[in-house]
Structure 1
């Protein structure tokens, strides 16, 4: 997971995710997530409660994608079909299923999508702590216990100003970063929407 964050790489990965048949390819999806984890790492320890979990989930999914059943984990749709057919979602004594693991990433992706969209559209003097807290409350907070929610909102108060965030994107000026966010976010949103629809269709959105 080492290396500098590059918004351009995240854009390319999420752009490559969706096939003509509107299937989500897990290889580019996990590659996009690796880029987003680098983004979380640049924000420092305050995001470790999310980034550590994401690192573990991405690693587990990469193991599935390289494992004996790797052909079943080429796309999100293939994975859902396979795991449902095999009854793997609730199998005792197994590591977390791919569906459960992707669901956790999916929820975190919604928070990052809302946060980056907030950064893109905010005024220059907007408080990033407010943008981040609002994004968190509209997404991940519902799945975290009170103690983590409290710690997160306290941590968000220490976030750097908006310009510092745009600099982290590694694509040039603040204006260029905003433009590239405008290009990247629809692709991230598309992947999120397809996943949401797929999981809703199979009643997987509330997997414990």
Structure 2
């Protein structure tokens, strides 16, 4: 199994992801696009910190974040929530934001399931095996063959749970395990609302 690159640092902040997922949902159960993107900016950093083999994932996330951010800058009101974005783009017969967010939404399923399995695993369990199984059950069905192969190579480099958390996370090991569960608890309702919105408009 490959090791992380030497410049990998303890820089991934689970608190940023958890806080922004929690701030996503409005009282009316709508999802604020801005907070969702802030959570994903930190998740993209995680994949960059995983090393060169994961850079294609980070670049994909960053590209889609940029698309939506540019749309928000031009029309903040229409791109305030996921629902307002969907309604606006359907009426305009153009769906750049909807398509960009759909990729992030699908990735959320993988990330949340991976974190859930990670939280329930043992310290020495291979996260590469967990990631591969979760990927097959989620994102693989949406990815082209070449992307599936790249993902397989990248996931093989992942170490044990303890090594992954100790190497990547800003918080200490025990605090990180608590935060992983908090991210799951905050992220699942956001995923559910977005999935419901996309399904109701036939966009999934």
TM-score under structure 1 length normalisation: 0.89
- Name whichever of 3-12 and 113-122 sits farther off: 3-12
Using the TM superposition, give the Cα deviation of residue 150 of structure 1 relative to its aligned residue in structure 2, in angstroms: 2.1
Structure 2 counterpart of 1:45, from 32, 46, 52: 52
For residues 146-194 of structure 1, what are the alpha-carbon distances to aligned partners after superposition, in whole Å with 9 as ceiling and x for unaligned?
222123213311212211222222122x222111111111111111111
Structure 1 counterpart of 2:79, from 73, 84, 89: 73
> Paired residue for 2:170?
170
Q: Determine the C-alpha separation between the residues in 2 that align with 1:136 and 1:110.
A: 9
> Paired residue for 1:20?
27
Q: Determine the C-alpha separation between the residues in 2 that align with 1:161 and 1:126.
A: 5
Q: Determine the C-alpha separation between the residues in 2 that align with 1:73 and 1:152.
A: 31
Q: Determine the C-alpha separation between the residues in 1 that align with 2:60 and 2:153.
A: 19
- The secondary structure found in structure 1 opposite 2:78 is helix
> Paired residue for 2:4?
none
Which structure 1 residue ranges, 5 or more long, are not aligned? 90-96
> Paired residue for 2:142?
143
Q: Aligned ranges for residues 96-175 of structure 1 at < 5 Å?
A: 97-167=96-166, 168-172=168-172, 174-175=173-174
Asked if 1:58 is matched to 2:65, the reply is yes
> Paired residue for 2:17?
10
Contact 2:11 2:169 in 1 (8 A): no
Q: Aligned ranges for residues 180-191 of structure 1 at < 5 Å?
A: 180-191=179-190
Using the TM superposition, give the Cα deviation of residue 43 of structure 1 relative to its aligned residue in structure 2, in angstroms: 0.7
Structure 2 counterpart of 1:33, from 40, 49, 62: 40
Q: Determine the C-alpha separation between the residues in 2 that align with 1:86 and 1:177.
A: 43
Q: Determine the C-alpha separation between the residues in 1 that align with 2:83 and 2:154.
A: 36
Asked which structure has the greater RCO (Cα within 8 Å, sep 6+), the reply is 2
Contact 2:13 2:42 in 1 (8 A): yes
Which structure 2 residue ranges, 5 or more long, are not aligned? 1-9
Q: Report how many aligned residue pairs link the two structures.
A: 194
Q: Which runs of 4+ in 1 moved over 3 A?
A: none
Using the TM superposition, give the Cα deviation of residue 49 of structure 1 relative to its aligned residue in structure 2, in angstroms: 2.2
- The secondary structure found in structure 2 opposite 1:160 is coil
